[in-house]
Amino acid sequence: MSKQTYRVCFCFRRRFRLAASEAPPDVKDIFNRYSENGVMSAEQLRQFLVDVQSEEGATLEDAQAIMDSLKHLNIFHRRGFNLESFFKYLFGDVNPPLNPNLGVHHDMNSPLSHYFIHTGHNSYLTGNQLSSDCSDVPIINALQKGVRVIELDIWPNSTDDDVVVLHGRTLTTPVELIKCLKSIKEHAFVASEYPVVITLEDHLTPVLQAKVAEMITQTFGDILFTPDSECLSVFPSPESLKKRVMISTKPPKEYLHAKKVPEKESDSKQGKDSGDEEAWGKEVKNLKSEMDDEDEDVDIEDDDEDDDEEDRKAEQNTAPEYKRLIAIRAGKGKGGMLDWLRVDPNKVRRLSLSEQELEKSIETYGKDIVRFTQRNLLRVYPKGIRFDSSNYNPLIGWMHGAQMVAFNMQGYGRSLWVMHGMFKANGGCGYVKKPDFLLKADSYGEVFDPRATLPVKTTLRVTVYMGEGWYFDFRHTHFDAYSPPDFYARVGIAGVPADTIMKKTKTLEDNWIPNWDEVFEFPLTVPELALLRIEVHEYDMSEKDDFAGQTCLPVNELRKGIRAVPLSSRKGEKYNSVKLLMRFEFV
């Protein structure tokens, strides 16, 4: 037998060997500190919960309930935890990084403008922006995951006697509007009881607008919120709108036929935003690198491009029954950006900007945008050349107070993972209360400046102990045909530019259960907007590294102490077994 043949056989033989998980040194030390003669009693576990896990209100009953939940395991000692059962508890599903019992805990009685809202873009598309199918399936999926703003582009059908949903002037196949509306009603409150907003991009004649009004009224009935006056003076609260549906749109400026791809859009198809992402998505850019992007913004959308004068002309031709349904009116002023951002003390509205419009405007008008979003709604949507349904850095919108940062929910990648992380907060209800500094001016009348150099408020210390579960959730040849995988972890912060950073552990070779045992510190100037990003990859010397799991967690809701952190797929679906053991401390 040749040496090479022997090596291959040896690798195949060792490929399926899996060492047992062993508690890291820190865990052993803590167990010794809170145990006696190798056994941790319920009272000692309670003291551990208070001292190490920062669960100040933990009772003896809480500790006993944890122990009782593990009694089915053969490793359980009759008088309490031994080291093995204590380690199993720490690394188990009962010890997640976010409190599953916290639920909705933000104040929900403020105006809608005081919340970040989980918002979809072109919610009906199954894939890319040019040729994919339109369907109610992605709408249903989005609602089931807690998305609260659904966007529908509505157009006349081919015979001009009915209304369909499609991405206008592209090759996307249409879906009937009534089908989308019925699916929204059926699934609107499956994941959250807080309001659903339907944003309509309207390309209809008054006759068809009247038909849409009838469809909406008959479909939603009493759950449809319609304002008492033409324009709201202040937005209602999410609490007051529980299990209600709202319509947001502006009067149409034109009547256009669909299904035609403009030449300039086809020619732009090879823009650098299309097709240059890694298997798991491009790294999320920070503010500066976003501003350095020189691509022209070729928008397929017509969002709010007309001014007030055109709106007024269009309103004369708008079906009155349709107009009465509009709860959140959208539109821009007739002047430039300052006029668009004008705050009217007597009425509120929605303004839409493309991601590039926002990036350019914050250079000069950053604080004006923050001031605008204290009362009004700002929607940000992807630039037109994102034909592949990719996304952008949502923090640019959030740090300026934008409530509706609209995302392609089928555009899996790092930007969407950050979006998922933000809306894990507040019980996953789709509404996250904005921090106070985005809601009001300070004592000097100044609003928050995202570009200001701020002092460090707190430092998050993250210990990455180890990981496990890939052996059970992946084919044993998934990462390497002949040997165990070579895992490394990436840990960092998505937040304001000063806080945004990613760090990396060492790569551990040939190990299904990597024990990195590394500590990272992240000084945070704006912890209220910080999200902890976690990824695991498998090093590949000859090709791109393999994706092995990710998650993103709101820093403000992290539970201190040693926690089991479940990882998810690129699509955000939680793996059955893959998780990391980590420790979170604020120092």
Tell me phi and psi for residue 508, to 5 degrees.
-105, 120
C-alpha distance from residue 269 to each of 15, 174, 266, 386, 565 (Å): 44, 21, 5, 9, 39
Q: What is the helix (H) or strand (E) element at residue 248, kind and residue range?
A: strand 245-249
- Residues 484-537: tens digit of each pLDDT: 999 999 999 999 999 999 999 999 999 999 999 999 999 999 999 999 999 999
Whether residue 118 lies in the annotated active site:
no
The pLDDT score that the predictor gives to residue 580 is 98
Q: Please, which pLDDT band fits residue 77 given cuts at 50, 70 and 90?
A: low
Query: How many helices (H) and strands (E) in the chain?
Result: 17, 20
| Six-digit token string for 200 | 């309509």
DSSP string, 275-295: S---TT-PPPP-HHHHHT---
Catalytic residue (one of 167, 203, 420, 537): 167
Separation between Cα atoms, residue 44 and residue 545, nearest integer Å = 43
Beta-bridged to residue 115, according to DSSP, are 433
Fold of 1-17+454-587: Immunoglobulin-like (2.60.40)
| Six-digit token string for 341 | 């951002």
Q: Please, which pLDDT band fits residue 267 given cuts at 50, 70 and 90?
A: very low
What's the CATH architecture for 22-90? Orthogonal Bundle (1.10)
Count Cβ neighbours within 10 Å for each residue of 10-44 and write b for 16 or more, e otherwise: eeeeebeeeeebebbebbeebbeebbeeebbbbeb
Domain ranges of the chain: 1-17+454-587, 22-90, 112-438
Tell me phi and psi for residue 209, to 5 degrees.
-60, -40
State the chain's mean pLDDT as an integer. Answer: 88
The pLDDT score that the predictor gives to residue 281 is 56
Half-sphere exposure (CA, 13 Å, Cβ side) for 194?
Answer: 27
Helix axis angle for 42-51 and 60-69, nearest 10°, is 110
Separation between Cα atoms, residue 421 and residue 584, nearest integer Å = 17
- Residues 538-566: tens digit of each pLDDT: 999 888 999 999 999 999 999 999 999 99
Residue 179 and residue 229 in contact, taking contact as beta carbons nearer than 8 Å:
no
Catalytic residue (one of 121, 203, 400, 420): 121
Mean pLDDT along residues 264-280: 38
Give the type of residue at 23. A
Nearest to 153, CA basis, from 182, 173, 131, 124:
124
Helix axis angle for 137-144 and 177-187, nearest 10°, is 20
- Residues 409-422: tens digit of each pLDDT: 999 999 999 999 99
- Residues 122-175: tens digit of each pLDDT: 999 999 999 999 999 999 999 999 999 999 999 999 999 999 999 988 999 999
Residue 212 and residue 262 in contact, taking contact as beta carbons nearer than 8 Å:
no
Q: Does CATH place domain 112-438 in 3.90.25.10?
A: no
Mean pLDDT along residues 275-301: 46
Helix axis angle for 25-33 and 83-90, nearest 10°, is 120
Nearest to 277, CA basis, from 392, 360, 418:
392
Q: What is the helix (H) or strand (E) element at residue 326, kind and residue range?
A: strand 326-329
The pLDDT score that the predictor gives to residue 297 is 37
Q: Would you say how long the chain is, in residues? A: 587
- Residues 164-200: tens digit of each pLDDT: 999 988 999 999 999 999 999 999 999 999 999 999 9
| Six-digit token string for 567 | 């990882």
Residue 580 and residue 467 in contact, taking contact as beta carbons nearer than 8 Å:
yes
% the chain with pLDDT above 90: 78
- Residues 574-583: tens digit of each pLDDT: 999 999 999 9
221 Cβ contact list (under 8 Å, min separation 6): none
Nearest to 287, CA basis, from 362, 357, 353:
362
Residue 230 and residue 326 in contact, taking contact as beta carbons nearer than 8 Å:
no
Whether residue 167 lies in the annotated active site:
yes
Residue 400 and residue 370 in contact, taking contact as beta carbons nearer than 8 Å:
yes
In this predicted structure, which of 113-117, 192-196, 306-310, 348-352 has the lowest mean pLDDT? Answer: 306-310
DSSP H helical ranges for 345-409: 355-372, 395-398
Residue with structure tokens 């799991």? 549
- Residues 212-229: tens digit of each pLDDT: 999 999 999 999 999 988
